[in-house]
Amino acid sequence: MSRSATQVHRPGDEADAFPRRLLLHVGTPKSGTSFLQDVLFSNREALAAHGLLYPADRFDEHFLAALDLMELPWGGLEEQAVGVWDRVAERVRAWPGTSVVSHEILARASAPQVRRALSSFGETEVHLVLSARDLARQIPAEWQENLKHRRTLGYADFLDRITDRSRADDVASWFWAVQDVPDILQRWGATLPAGHVHVVTVPQPGASPTLLWERFAGVLGLDPLAWDTTQVSRANPSLGVPETSFLRMVNREVNGGVLAGRHYREFVREVLAHRTLSQRTGSPRLGVPEDVRAWTAELAESGIATLKERGYDVVGDLDELRPAPPDQPFTDPDRPDPGDVLDVAVQSTVTLICQAAALRDRTDALGAELRGAIAERDQARREAGLWTRFKRRVVAASADSAVLRVALAGYRRLRGR
Amino acid sequence: MTSTAGRAGHTDAERARYESTADAWADHLRSGGTTPWLPFCSRRGPEPGADDRPAGPSRPWPAEPRAVQLELVRRLALRARQSRAGPAPAAFTALADQVLSRPTPGRGSADRPLAWPEDPSAPADHRGAPPVDPSTLPAGELLRLSTGVVADLLVALGPPVGPPVAPRSALGRLAGSALAGSGLRAWRRRRRPSYRVLGSTAAAATVRAALAGAGPPLGGGLRDARVLVVVDSVDALLADAWASRVRHGSRTRWRTFVGACAARGTLPSSAGVDDLAAAWAARVGPDRVHVVAGRTPEELAAALGLGATPTAPRDADGPLPPYAVDVVRRANAVLRLRVPRESRPWYAGRLTEVLGDVPAWAPSSPRGGLRVPDRHRHWAATAGHRLARRLADAGYPVHGDLGVLSRQGGGPPGPPSRQTLEAMLDAVLVLGGAVPPGRPLAQGGRR
């Protein structure tokens, strides 16, 4: 049975009754974290009025804080992350109530990084929150996420790496660092009381679409109906089999210095993947082969037993961490239907042509503005007096004449400049 | 696919012994010891006593230093022993404690615990990254951690005083170095023919050394100067440009840099030896701009009519080897998260100075530069042909074969990780004060 992690401090309440608390939500990726962060960011002012601080002035502030904490390069974005963790921690320490910090890549933090993170909050009472989904759904989602970050490895290759118990490979190492729920809770929760560790399970398909939000709201101590979740715009929908295969082909062609990171983020990840390909819902969905499903079921049993043994607060039902039976046969994304992929390619080409046309229109408009500004400037110069024009000519000529430069310097000294 | 079934977990007694042994090993390493983990466990004996932990103050490192932190300390100790002066004990211990407390930055494997001596495989109840024999950790993981340590040590030097001075481009520095230290000599010798040597860094260093040994002054006034534009393969020109960007704070890998140039279809502007020659031709006249391509110092001296025997270049005169440049590149990647953008060239320059002053180069270390990766070979050869044609069409006197521009460089397609790690260890030791700076002699090393 879940219990609220906090009572929210309201203006006018006795401060002593509500110690400073932090709800530190550290993952896992692909478990509704983006949705929760969007709700919190969109409603941050109203939440603060109710005593709950979401310390972020930009929607990706906690992401930057995580990059700062873990010294992670991220396609150039890390330049904006210098000092962000300490700034967020400072706001948490200064807030006389409950704060929420949330980003899913925090799951990856190593033990020394966790130590630094927890100590940065001073005397604040830390509650750890981890949202978790069954591995049979996490595995294809993580592979897809790899591809959205420019990787080109095939699905079978990905499965081989993550099922290798050595976890020596970079891909496997990252996957398990952010998806091994008992390990994440051990790293982050080793110094916290079990009652301060809250595991939120993601409902299985077919459950009420508001159930996950209700569970998160329960942990935050909020009435789920009182907060607007309809304005959430930053969705992270999944791609189908041919769409994912197409994305992998694109990556092969644009990597190796062909397409700079900022262009990849805008055109491939945003325009193609998020806004175009994810809207195609009729194609086969990504799943796992039957032998992998059986293996995830074994891991789930072991993980559930460990979580029960440790006595954490469970918000939801640990049974939801067991993989559900598949609702469609497995379709191998390494051997997609060529016709399906062609269809994806045609739609993608049209989308990018339209995008290029829109950018051309914008460039043309900017060009017209610039030409107008230049014409105005030239007109102003023509209307300027003879003395002004003479001075401009002298300044221009001084670039090639030491005598003029000396004379000009003397003139400026006389004018007190 | 492996099952989760396996042997049962460790007993409390086994865990206590494991932790006690790990602490003792950490202490051994901090004192400059170099015994690897598994032999250390074997030598320590079967059943240490309950109070077998090292005496003295409580350990200054975190509860569970992972295999990579411990192994890096061991490699530093090994490397420090190769310094002629040997490691400074107190400074080494302080540096070791810093390493043991340092999280590994960036992407890569999760930090792994030490392998259990009796059975390196992880038990069924093990969670997280599996244990490892630290001596088997790949160089990449040790590089990742040591890069973080180097960044910490550089930041601890403090921010630069005054506005940062951005390093000039490779060719710009070479153009300037033609005058460096020669102002007074140039004044006295202004009526004697003099040479300015510009162009590909490594090749120009060879030529400059040859001329210095053969007699004619370097630098001097423009009136009598002859300009030698030394060209090498496009691979070498690209390597110079990459190294220059790294010195300005870039973290771009060599392969990505070449790939970006190939995708654009153009060489970076700093590799434009044709433009360099044209600029000097406009100042001194095309008849006094000579192009040198692939000539030995003796051949060049003969071609220029110099009587004396040229001198062989010292290692100290050459550019940093590519694996040392890669050390700076890696540090740049971490420093992006630590220092303001405008300070990065200063930190990169400081690290370059340190690396230029350590005896990292064993006789077997490759002295050559990098070559363009095979997938871009055709583009590089075409760019080389184009440069050669422009230089030939301009009519400069040419000493040697302009075909060198389109030939494949002889080095590896990327900085070799073993040598990069050695250079990184040296940087850690010098910056951490564990070995003295300067150029202590080492086996087969630099002067």
User: Which among B1, B130, B261 is the nearest to A291, CB-wise?
Assistant: B1
DSSP reduced 3-state for B143: helix
pLDDT of B422 over the 90 cut: yes
- pLDDT exceeds cutoff 50 at A53: yes
Residue B295 has pLDDT above 80, yes or no: no
pLDDT beyond 70 at B276? yes
For residue A240, pLDDT over 60 is answered with: yes
Q: Which residue has the higher pLDDT, B191 or A119?
A: A119
| pLDDT for the residue numbered B192 | 54
CB A175, CB A146: distance < 8 Å = no
List residues of B whose CB lies inside 8 A of any A CB. 1-4, 62, 64, 66, 101-111, 122, 125, 127-130, 148, 251, 255-263, 333-334, 336-341, 375
Higher pLDDT, B390 or B187: B390
A257 part of contact set with chain B, CB < 8 Å = yes
Helix (H) or strand (E) holding A362: helix A338-383
> Distance (Å) from the C-alpha of residue A349 to the closest C-alpha of chain B?
21
B251 to chain A: which residues are within 8 Å by CB? 73
The type of residue at B60 is P
pLDDT for B365 beyond 50: no
Q: CA B421 to CA B79: how far, in whole Å?
A: 11
pLDDT at B121 over 70: no
Q: Most A CBs within 10 Å: which of B3, B69, B100, B109, as the mutation test of the A interface? A: B109
Q: Is the pLDDT of residue B316 over 60?
A: no
Mean pLDDT on B384-394: 93
Spatial distance between the Cα atoms of B180 and B167, rounded to a whole number of angstroms: 15
Return the pLDDT at A103: 97
How many pairs of residues across A and B have Cβ atoms under 8 Å apart?
109
More confident residue, A356 or B439: A356
Exposure of A83 in the CB half-sphere (CA atoms within 13 A): 3
Q: What pLDDT is stored for residue B100 in this prediction?
A: 93
Which residues of chain A are within 8 Å of residue B341 when distances are taken between CB atoms?
79
Q: Is the pLDDT of residue B282 over 90?
A: no
Work out the percent of chain B whose per-residue pLDDT is above 70: 70
Q: Do B110 and A111 count as a contact with CB atoms less than 8 A apart?
A: no
Nearest to A82 among B4, B333, B338 (CB): B338
What's the pLDDT score for residue B84? 63
For A79, which of B2, B263, B341 is closest by C-beta distance?
A: B341
Interface check A120 vs B, CB under 8 A: no
pLDDT (0 to 100) of residue B53: 44
Secondary structure (3-state) at B196: strand
Q: What is the total residue count of chain B?
A: 447
pLDDT confidence of residue B183? 46
Comparing A375-389, B142-156, B171-185, which segment has the lowest mean pLDDT? B171-185
Helix residue spans in B248-306 (DSSP H) = 254-264, 273-284, 297-303
> Does an H or E element contain A199, and which?
strand A197-201
The CA-based dihedral angle spanning residues B322, B325, B327, B331, taken in that order and rounded to the nearest 10 degrees: -150
Using a CB-CB distance cutoff of 8 angstroms, which residues of chain A are in contact with residue B129? 167, 173, 176-177
Mean pLDDT of A137-156: 95
Check residue A233 and give its pLDDT.
56
Q: Which band of pLDDT confidence, cut at 50, 70 and 90, is reported for residue B443?
A: very low
pLDDT at position A348, please?
A: 95
Least confident of A2-16, A146-160, B265-279, B409-423: A2-16
Average pLDDT estimate for B213-226:
64
Residue B189 in this model has a pLDDT that exceeds 80: no
pTM, entire model: 0.81
Q: Is the CB of residue B409 less than 8 Å from the CB of residue B236?
A: yes
**3-class DSSP state for residue B231?**
strand
Q: Which of B435, B424, B433, B434 is nearest to B149 (CA)?
A: B424
pLDDT at B217 over 80: no
Query: In this predicted structure, what is the pLDDT of residue A300?
Result: 96
Looking at residue B258, its pLDDT comes to 94
Chain A residues with CB inside 8 Å of B130's CB? 165-167
Q: Residue range B368-384: average pLDDT?
A: 91
Task: Find the mean pLDDT for residues A29-57.
Answer: 93
Instruction: Give the confidence band of B307 by pLDDT, cuts at 50, 70, 90.
Output: low
Cβ neighbours of residue A189 closer than 8 Å, sequence gap 6 or more? A128, A196, A197, A312
Q: What pLDDT is recorded for position B57?
A: 46
- Per DSSP (E only), the strands in A73-194 are 98-102, 125-132
Bigger pLDDT: B355 vs A68: A68
Q: Which residue has the tokens 């706001």?
A: A91
Q: Identify whether the C-beta of residue B362 lies closer than 8 Å to the C-beta of residue B181.
A: no
- Per-chain mean pLDDT for chain A: 90
A105: closest CA of chain B, how far (Å): 12
